[in-house]
Amino acid sequence: QVQVVESGGGLVQAGGPLRLSCTASSLDFDDYPMGWFRQIPDKEREAVSCTTWTGSTRYYADSVKGRFTISTNSSKNTVYLQMNSLKSEDTAMYYCATDVSCAPSHLDAMSTSSWGPGTRVTVSS
């Protein structure tokens, strides 16, 4: 099974940037779109962004459009989430998943998705 590890979370002031990384193993680049989700305790998981490895298909939640950018480095099996102009409402645990359903209009996890343990992002106001 694919192993996924996120990194880059931390404490940042509102308005500041942060870059999350997600490194996956044993990937078939053509068949495993990658996605970022986030979750706050007692709230439903929220789809944030996803991409194919070629970047031909990308999705951003309305809440992050214009502030977050997803990118890939296939040579490192890594997907990045550059988060700019962070707001307190971006505070959450961020999770990366492989083999997601990624389209310009939506992002959904699949039963076959592999998940990382998450990385925590805290935005102070």
Q: What is the pLDDT of residues 14-61, one digit of tens each?
A: 999 999 999 988 766 556 799 999 999 999 999 999 999 889 999 999
**Residue written as tokens 């990366």?**
96
Pairing of strands 18-24, 4-7: antiparallel
Q: What is the model's pLDDT at position 119?
A: 98
Percent of the chain at pLDDT > 70 equals 96
d(C-alpha 51, C-alpha 35), whole Å: 6
Q: What is the model's pLDDT at position 31?
A: 60
d(C-alpha 114, C-alpha 40), whole Å: 20
Q: What is the model's pLDDT at position 32?
A: 78
Banded pLDDT at 5 (limits 50, 70, 90) = very high
d(C-alpha 73, C-alpha 76), whole Å: 6
